[in-house]
Structure 1
């Protein structure tokens, strides 16, 4: 329900300023949450049987064909930055860190999805619908990539652990 009426120019400017701020807020929140929240036992981060170890995303959404086009959205800079785009540390610790950051990234995008409703305060209902579509188009691909990658990295980690116990 629109309660703030802005000129078209201010409305457009507000949309362009607010979306990045809201996305950044979701990312900042997820970096403030304790790492203990991001375990595979948490319902959101489980791999479900229908996902077929991530293959659902490869077959239905062809994630492996376009995932390289997505940016690495880490908000940290410098040495603390963890880049998920290219897995470079194949140690057990490195793979565990990747899984943790993958869960954090997924939650960030889930939390960013519902922010579309904020635009209802100062835009007409049709624009709110467009904001919902935008939120889905921007965040869902990132969620799909995390759901696709995590089971594969987990399998790699399990294989690595088995080899080390031999």
Structure 2
């Protein structure tokens, strides 16, 4: 329900300024949560049987064809930054870190989805609908990629452990 009435120019400017701030807020929040939250025992991060170990995302969404186009949205800089775009550390610790950061990234995008409603305070209802569409188009591909990658990395980690043990 619109309670603040801005000119069209200010509305557009507010949207362009607010979306990145809201996305960044979701990312900061997810970095503040303890790492213990990001386990596969957490319901959200389980691989479900219908996902067929990530194959659903290949067959239905063809994730393997476009995932390289997505940016790495890590908010950390320098040595603290963890690159999820290309797996470079294949050690057990490196694979565990990838799984942790993958779960963190997925939660970040889930938390960013509902922010579209904020625009209802100062934008007409049709714009709020567009913000919902935008939120889905921007965040869902990132969620799909995380859900596609995790089972693959888990299999790699399990193979590594079997060889070791």
TM over 0.5, shorter chain: yes
TM-superposed CA distance for 1:162, in Å, is 3.8
Distance 1:42 1:97 in 2: 16
TM-superposed CA distance for 1:142, in Å, is 0.1
TM-superposed CA distance for 1:56, in Å, is 0.1
- The alignment partner of 2:39 has SS state of coil
Distance 1:45 1:75 in 2: 21
2:4 aligned with 1:20? no
- Residue aligning to 1:70: 70
Q: How does 1:86-165 map to 2 (within 5 A)?
A: 86-159=86-159, 161-165=160-164
Distance 2:59 2:31 in 1: 32
TM-superposed CA distance for 1:164, in Å, is 3.4
TM-superposed CA distance for 1:66, in Å, is 0.1
TM-score by length of 1: 0.98
1:105-141 Cα shifts (integer Å, max 9, x gaps)? 0000000000000000000000000000000000000
TM-superposed CA distance for 1:163, in Å, is 3.9
Distance 1:21 1:4 in 2: 19
- The alignment partner of 2:72 has SS state of coil
Distance 2:161 2:71 in 1: 33
Distance 2:161 2:128 in 1: 51
The runs of 4+ residues in structure 1 deviating greater than 3 Å are: 161-166
Structure 2 stretches of 5 or more lacking a match? none
TM-superposed CA distance for 1:165, in Å, is 3.5
Report the RMSD for the aligned CA atoms in angstroms: 0.8
Distance 2:81 2:164 in 1: 31
Distance 1:148 1:115 in 2: 24
TM-score by length of 2: 0.98
